[in-house]
Structure 1
Amino acid sequence: MRIIGGQFRGLHLAPVGDGDPKAHLRPTSDRVRESIFNLLINGGHGDPITGARVLDLFAGTGALGLEALSRGAAQATFVDDGTAARALLRRNIELTRTGGVTDVWRRDATKMGANKGDRFGLVFLDPPYGKSLGEAALASLLSGGWLAPDALVVWEEGASPLPPAGFDTVDQRRYGDTHVTLLRLRP
């Protein structure tokens, strides 16, 4: 697993092997991550990355948020309640030397609570597949005031999800057993 583009391009991240099913670690493959960022950059969505505040839910290794930082995001907050995931994430933050622009939170992404800070314009959502955790996390973000107006959500799931209330589907793609859905917060 490596960073695909930007200032950290080619940097290898901490190895996970085949993932850790018990810890729900299922890293996004380099190929899928590259496709996601090509879609964000070349998909007619403006530039949702440069200067963005990024929220990476069910962050795992943090590869999505770190890729965004490599490509010009201003700040990334990583949320994961798994011990193994947070250890890998902290190692990857060390490797990229992004400690000054990252936060790591041990929190249940489906119960974010009220936001007391700035809102996020770009959200990566990669929950364990087939457990309806993505829907719960989006509902929590909405009710807690976490999303900036016109926020873009990149949701990875095992099947194409329907957009929850308050969101419009911008694009959907399938990469093997991974379905990527781009959602835009409805004004």
Structure 2
Amino acid sequence: MSRSAIKLHTPAGRKALDKMINEAERKAQETALTKGGKPVAPAKKAAGNGEIRIIGGQWRRTRLPVAQKPGLRPTPDRVRETLFNWLGQDLTNWKCVDAFAGTGALGFEAASRGASSVVMNEQDAALVQQLQRLREQLDAKAVKVQRGDGLSCLKSISGQDLVLLDPPFDLVDMFEAAVKAAAQAINDGGFIYLEGPEAWGEEQLQPLGLELHRYLKAGAVHAHLLKKLP
């Protein structure tokens, strides 16, 4: 098929063009290797949009578009489903904080299941705008979106039933301070969901007045549900 014959507005045309581009990249790599040079790297695709799916509650099965940004790691569907099974599905009248909201997957899930108050805190300005758009799209009146540092957010609140902690995995030094601040922010008997790159044990939790209520490892994700002791 000649280039001039390709109709880009049709699926067949786009498929044919992709095939031509891939074939050209393959030949370029072979030529570079034959000459003793380095292989030519394929062109990088521009970062597009992904999506998250709300698992349960009033917005069950609703799919929300989310930006794809370096380091952004939405909590997997399986882990979110397990978390809210642990919590009992119905969060009616719960007060919640999603301190490192990111895509908002955890916070919107809590709001979908009846939480009366969900503070979604995020530092990245573009993600804050995205969260605002999703809030409006869902008409999620219980959700408040704010921009700020996650640790400062935790230190400024109290009387919460659930704190959702999913800091960037590369901020290793922040985890201990975040868990400590979250422990002060929740009521006795309240919960902290902690998602991190390593498992937390009783020796780390007991000095903070917390116990490990549930635990799940899914790939590189260690998911903990912590409960505050009375």
Check whether TM > 0.5. yes
Return the match for 1:149 from 188, 193, 199. Answer: 188
Return the structure number with greater relative CO, CA threshold 8 A, min gap 6.
1
Per the alignment, residue 95 of structure 1 pairs with 137
| Pair 1:136-2:177 in alignment | yes
Per the alignment, residue 167 of structure 2 pairs with 127
Residues in 1 aligned to 2:121 and 2:66: alpha-carbon distance in whole angstroms: 20
Per the alignment, residue 54 of structure 1 pairs with 96
Residues in 1 aligned to 2:226 and 2:76: alpha-carbon distance in whole angstroms: 21
Per the alignment, residue 198 of structure 2 pairs with 159
The structure 1 segments of at least 4 consecutive aligned residues displaced by more than 6 Å after TM superposition are: none
Gaps of 5+ in 1: none
CA contact (8 A) 2:182 2:192 kept: no
Question: What SS does the aligned partner of 1:79 have?
Answer: strand
Question: What SS does the aligned partner of 1:34 have?
Answer: helix
The alpha carbon displacement at 1:85 in A equals 2.1
Deviations 1:134-170 (A, max 9, x none): 321122334xx52222110111111112343221111
Residues in 2 aligned to 1:178 and 1:124: alpha-carbon distance in whole angstroms: 15
The alpha carbon displacement at 1:82 in A equals 1.2
CA contact (8 A) 1:14 1:91 kept: no
CA contact (8 A) 1:168 1:184 kept: yes
Residues in 1 aligned to 2:175 and 2:198: alpha-carbon distance in whole angstroms: 12
Residues in 1 aligned to 2:109 and 2:143: alpha-carbon distance in whole angstroms: 12
| Pair 1:12-2:63 in alignment | yes
Question: What SS does the aligned partner of 2:169 have?
Answer: coil
The alpha carbon displacement at 1:79 in A equals 1.2
Per the alignment, residue 185 of structure 1 pairs with 228
The alpha carbon displacement at 1:61 in A equals 1.4
The alpha carbon displacement at 1:114 in A equals 3.7
Per the alignment, residue 104 of structure 1 pairs with 145
| Pair 1:25-2:72 in alignment | yes
The alpha carbon displacement at 1:8 in A equals 0.4
Per the alignment, residue 3 of structure 1 pairs with 54
More helix by share: 2
Deviations 1:59-95 (A, max 9, x none): 1111111111111111100111111221221122122
CA contact (8 A) 2:193 2:223 kept: yes
